[in-house]
Amino acid sequence: MGKGALALLVHGGTENWSPQRWKARFGEVCGDRPVVLLPDPALDPAEVHYAAVWKPKPGELAAFKNLRVIFNLGAGVDALMADRSLPDVPLVRVAVDDLTDRMTEYVVLHVLMHHRQEPYLRESQRVRRWAPKYQWAASALTVGIMGLGTLGAASAHALGALGFRVVGWSRSEKQVVGIRCFHGSDGFDAFLRETNILVCLLPLTPETRHILNRGVFTKLNRTSPLGAPVVINAGRGGLQNEADILRALDDGTLGAASLDVYETEPLPGDSPFWSHPKVVLTPHNAADTDADEISKYVARQIARFEAGEALENVVDRTRGY
């Protein structure tokens, strides 16, 4: 019998993220293993040993009775965690430098954008207004990172290297050189009291849903040269209470927000975020997973698994991330 097939289930995606591109890349790295793009009526589900997926519909993986590992083609597994019929096999998420570096670029770009008053400067250019405002030093601001995992820790280091004061918050206790670390619900308020720019890189779980809400915004630090604090969310849309963000921007509780993710994606055309003067909006592409890199990552993991070695970055289903 030949090698068990790798089934590919990819919903949505841009030109660079098309199911056909994923299939071509997996075909290059999987040797003689069959790579099958679903749906494929000719496929015998019993032949499938591995599944590489992005946002499969609930129940779509249940048919594969000989499945050994599920590979999520991204870092966040919230969509999979919502599938009650998900086969009980190891679920591996993406944690690779390529994705981490992209997220670090996004976070540094948006922190600098607010720190360097770019929205004000771009508006000044648009109306031909020569009205410089003092540019304060990075060390005048504290950036608070929610989530000190693969992505949060890398962003924290990059911001620290630029001179920002950095604090971080995680579920379990951590010690990270150069970063003041807080953890758990007991450490949350103290973390918020320090934070001028709040960056959210948490996974979406039952515990973190709507954690970005008015109560949290009112506890952020307002004593820096920025004045009103800023929120940057590149985790998941379900982490934010969108009505609270809009109200906080409108009444000055927040000075600005950079949002990459939304409760409903694509963001509906009538969302007030599109035209809000204090919102810097991107379409959930802070850190894309790249088919070249991730197909190699999955092939490496399958080779490890078949050699009897431990899989990396296996999701803890009880925690939900």
Catalytic residues: 236, 284
Q: Which positions ≥6 away from 236 have C-beta within 8 Å?
A: 76, 78, 202, 203, 204, 261
Using the rule CB under 6 A, which residue among 4, 56, 76, 229 binds ligand GLV?
76
By C-beta, is 77 or 113 nearer to ligand GLV?
77
- 3-class secondary-structure state, position 233: strand
CB of 114: closest distance to ligand NAP in angstroms? 18
Taken in order 33, 35, 39, 41, the sign of the CA dihedral is negative
Edge-first strand order for the sheet with 48-54 is 35-37, 5-10, 48-54, 69-72, 91-92
CB of 293: closest distance to ligand NAP in angstroms? 13
Q: Does 74 bind ligand GLV (CB under 6 A)?
A: yes
- Token readout for 272 is 């007030």
170 binds, among ligand GLV, ligand NAP, none (CB under 5 to 8 A by kind): ligand NAP
CA distances in angstroms from 124 to 111, 119, 127, 192, listed in the order given: 20, 9, 5, 32
Q: Does 289 bind ligand GLV (CB under 6 A)?
A: yes
Q: Does 75 bind ligand GLV (CB under 6 A)?
A: yes
Task: Write the burial class of residue 105 (CB in 10 Å: 0-12 exposed, 13-18 middle, 19+ buried).
Answer: middle
Region near ligand GLV per CB under 6 A, out of 40-48, 69-77, 146-154, 269-277: 69-77
Neighbour tally for 131: CB within 10 Å: 8
- Segment 49 to 108, residues that bind ligand NAP, using CB under 6 A: 74-76, 95, 103
Using the rule CB under 6 A, which residue among 189, 207, 250, 251 binds ligand NAP?
207
The 10 Å CB-count burial string (b at 16+, else e) for 248-272 is bbeeebbbbbbbbbbbeeebeeebe
CB of 126: closest distance to ligand NAP in angstroms? 28
Q: Does 284 bind ligand NAP (CB under 6 A)?
A: yes
Q: Which positions ≥6 away from 274 have C-beta within 8 Å?
A: 267, 281
By C-beta, is 222 or 300 nearer to ligand NAP?
300
Site string (226-245) toward ligand NAP, x via CB under 6 A: --------xxx---------
Size of the site for ligand GLV (CB under 6 A): 5
Q: Does 56 bind ligand GLV (CB under 6 A)?
A: no
- 3-class secondary-structure state, position 189: helix
233 binds, among ligand NAP, ligand GLV, none (CB under 5 to 8 A by kind): none
Q: Does 202 bind ligand NAP (CB under 6 A)?
A: yes
CB of 301: closest distance to ligand GLV in angstroms? 16
Neighbour tally for 70: CB within 10 Å: 24
Distance CA 311, CA 92 (A): 8
Distance CA 98, CA 104 (A): 10
Residues that bind ligand NAP (CB under 6 A): 74-76, 95, 103, 147-152, 169-172, 201-205, 207-208, 234-236, 260-261, 284, 286-287, 321
Residues that bind ligand GLV (CB under 6 A): 74-76, 94, 289
